[in-house]
Amino acid sequence: MLDKLRRQFILIIMALVTAALAIMAGVIIYINYQQLSSDVKQSVEYATTAFAFEGRMSANNAQWPDGAAADGTAMNRQSGQSASASDGEPDAVGAGDLVGNVADDAYRHGGNHRTERAPGADMVPTSVYFVDADGAISQTLVNALELDDATAQAALAAALESWNAADSADECLTGHIADGDLYYGVRNTTSGAKVAFASGAYVANSIANLAMVLAAVSAGVWVAFLIISILLARWVVRPTERAWEQQQQFVADASHELKTPLAVMMANNSILLSNAGDTVENQRRWVESNQAEARQMLELVNDMLFLARPQNAERQTVRETVDLSALVQRNTLQFEAVCFERGVVLEDEVATGISVLGDANRLQRLASTLIDNACKYADTKVSVKLTRAGNQAKLAICNDGAVIPAEDLPHVFDRFYRVDKARVRSEGGVGLGLAIAQEVAHEHGGAITVTSSEEAGTTFVATLPCVG
């Protein structure tokens, strides 16, 4: 059962850790994907403004991409000019003979056309195209994104189609082309349009690398939590394990204690049956033996029922003011004869006027148990002392004689625990008295402790809150 409990604990912890790691990794990847996508879009938008062409490429055999107007009308929506309006008229790219030089060389070599780059732009491979009003297409390579003719033509057609369909051409239009995984940016100029492309592979590769790093880190964290969970499971289950062992021991001891009087009673009954014709008077000792064993069994069962109640269960006790001084004095007088028969001197020092709030019968059980225990183990002397310290009543019962070993002190209040098993059994005890005394002390808001040494003997001290 305990192994199953440990496994369930580890399983729950690791399930929570796995879910937390998965959610954390997903959030990190999502945030980075959004950031990378934004960087790419900013890069293509920047590329449409940062690079100026010094002239127009020769229009020899140049064609407009599919979807764009052959006369260049669509290119001049912002200026309201058609292709024919640009003939013989100066524009942003110059008139007259076409030279076909581009500014990318100036940029790469620190020329006059160099512009400050946007954050992250140097990491994103981009390619910039200029499509002028005559249908000439010029190309400058930025960060080495080279597109083959077919890919470039299809991408330009898709980008310009989206740009032509847009409501406003005043700003740079950005978007994504799924076929080819390209991000694009289109910006209108006075003499045409600039189209920049960036590969989506940059985003995919970055996310893939991030996912690998997160997977490695998550695996390490998962293993670390697994080890911690295993160690933690052992620590968490330890109190349950102790309680289980105590319960098993309690059942075994209770069974043994019940078995002994039952065996005696069965033996007595066998003797009685074998002498069925005899008188009861002649067989009186066997009947009295059965009576004594039955009484002992009843006391044992009552004690076990008392201890079997859950600690957090409401105790059905009658709370009243009890004169603890008088109660201790009565118990001391009752044990004087017992001590005298054993050759033990019983001394008492009981302060008067000490009262507590509680159940008189159970407080009687507490006092009698401690005094009886001291009388059983004393060699020559037992002392009973009741004092008051502040709002606490202190009942100290000390006896000389055999010292309780240090390793046994933490267990003297355990159920069925015996320091000297043979002697206790001969005295008629079953090892529940001190456990019950501790329960009574706790029930009344107090505590009970024990010390044992050669010099001072064995001393049980019960403290209870006073009233008045």
415, 242 contact by CB (below 8 A): no
Helices assigned H by DSSP within 109-172:
149-165
- Per-residue pLDDT reduced to its tens digit, 393-402: 999 999 998 8
Lowest mean pLDDT among 195-199, 329-333, 386-390: 195-199
Mean pLDDT over residues 328-343, rounded? 89
Rounded Cα gap, residues 212 and 221, in angstroms: 14
With a cut of 80, say whether residue 234 has pLDDT above it.
yes
Q: How many CB atoms lie within 10 A of CB 14?
A: 15
With a cut of 50, say whether residue 218 has pLDDT above it.
yes
Rounded Cα gap, residues 319 and 417, in angstroms: 30
Tokens of 333: 């007088």
- The confidence score (pLDDT) of residue 116 equals 42
Placement of tokens 């998965």 in the chain: 22
With a cut of 50, say whether residue 115 has pLDDT above it.
no
**Which of 396 and 86 is assigned the larger pLDDT?**
396
User: Strands, DSSP E only, in 260-409?
Assistant: 320-323, 345-350, 355-358, 381-389, 392-399
With a cut of 50, say whether residue 344 has pLDDT above it.
yes
Rounded Cα gap, residues 106 and 124, in angstroms: 20
- Per-residue pLDDT reduced to its tens digit, 20-52: 999 999 999 999 989 888 888 888 888 777 665
pLDDT bucket at 171, cuts 50 / 70 / 90: confident
- Per-residue pLDDT reduced to its tens digit, 123-139: 677 788 888 766 667 66
Q: Is 57 helix (H, G, I), strand (E, B) or coil?
A: coil
**Which of 45 and 360 is assigned the larger pLDDT?**
360
pLDDT bucket at 18, cuts 50 / 70 / 90: very high
**Which of 93 and 30 is assigned the larger pLDDT?**
30
- The confidence score (pLDDT) of residue 193 equals 80
- The confidence score (pLDDT) of residue 143 equals 59
| Beta bridge partner(s), residue 452 | 458
The helix, strand and coil proportions of the chain, stated in percent and rounded to the nearest 5, come to: 50, 20, 30
With a cut of 90, say whether residue 351 has pLDDT above it.
yes
**Which of 38 and 212 is assigned the larger pLDDT?**
212
With a cut of 80, say whether residue 362 has pLDDT above it.
yes
- The confidence score (pLDDT) of residue 15 equals 93
User: What percent of the chain clears pLDDT 90, i.e. is strictly above it?
Assistant: 24
Rounded Cα gap, residues 94 and 92, in angstroms: 6
Placement of tokens 């911690």 in the chain: 228
92: closest CA among 187, 163, 171? Answer: 187
319, 359 contact by CB (below 8 A): yes
- Per-residue pLDDT reduced to its tens digit, 42-83: 888 887 776 655 443 333 333 334 444 333 333 433 333 333
- Per-residue pLDDT reduced to its tens digit, 405-430: 888 888 888 877 766 654 544 454 56
- The confidence score (pLDDT) of residue 55 equals 40
pLDDT bucket at 167, cuts 50 / 70 / 90: low
Tokens of 272: 């009685």
Mean pLDDT over residues 227-231, rounded? 90
With a cut of 80, say whether residue 468 has pLDDT above it.
no
- The confidence score (pLDDT) of residue 144 equals 58
- Nearby residues of 270 by Cβ (< 8 Å), 6 or more positions away: none
Tokens of 408: 């046994």
pLDDT bucket at 245, cuts 50 / 70 / 90: confident
- The confidence score (pLDDT) of residue 174 equals 84
420: closest CA among 462, 455, 464, 373? Answer: 373
**Which of 161 and 379 is assigned the larger pLDDT?**
379
Virtual torsion, Cα 320, 325, 328, 332, nearest 10 deg: -150
- Per-residue pLDDT reduced to its tens digit, 290-310: 888 888 788 778 877 777 765
- Per-residue pLDDT reduced to its tens digit, 443-465: 899 999 999 998 889 999 999 99
Mean pLDDT over residues 312-329, rounded? 77
Identity of the highest mean pLDDT range in 111-120, 226-235, 393-402: 393-402
State whether the Cα torsion 113-114-118-123 is positive or negative: positive
pTM above 0.85, yes or no: no
Lowest mean pLDDT among 12-21, 92-101, 205-214, 390-399: 92-101
Please state which of the four CATH numbers 3.30.565.10, 3.30.420.10, 1.10.1740.10, 3.30.70.3040 is assigned to the domain occupying 320-467: 3.30.565.10
- The confidence score (pLDDT) of residue 138 equals 67
With a cut of 90, say whether residue 317 has pLDDT above it.
no
User: What percent of the chain clears pLDDT 70, i.e. is strictly above it?
Assistant: 76
| Beta bridge partner(s), residue 346 | 382
Q: What is the mean pLDDT of the chain?
A: 76
- The confidence score (pLDDT) of residue 120 equals 47
Half-sphere exposure of 463 (CA within 13 A, CB side): 8
Using DSSP bridges, classify how beta strands 381-389 and 345-350 pair: parallel, antiparallel or unpaired: parallel
With a cut of 80, say whether residue 146 has pLDDT above it.
no
Domain boundaries, the chain: 51-199, 320-467
Polymer length of the chain: 468
- Measured between its terminal Cα atoms, the distance across the chain in Å is 50
Placement of tokens 């600690």 in the chain: 311
50, 115 contact by CB (below 8 A): yes
Mean pLDDT over residues 8-15, rounded? 90
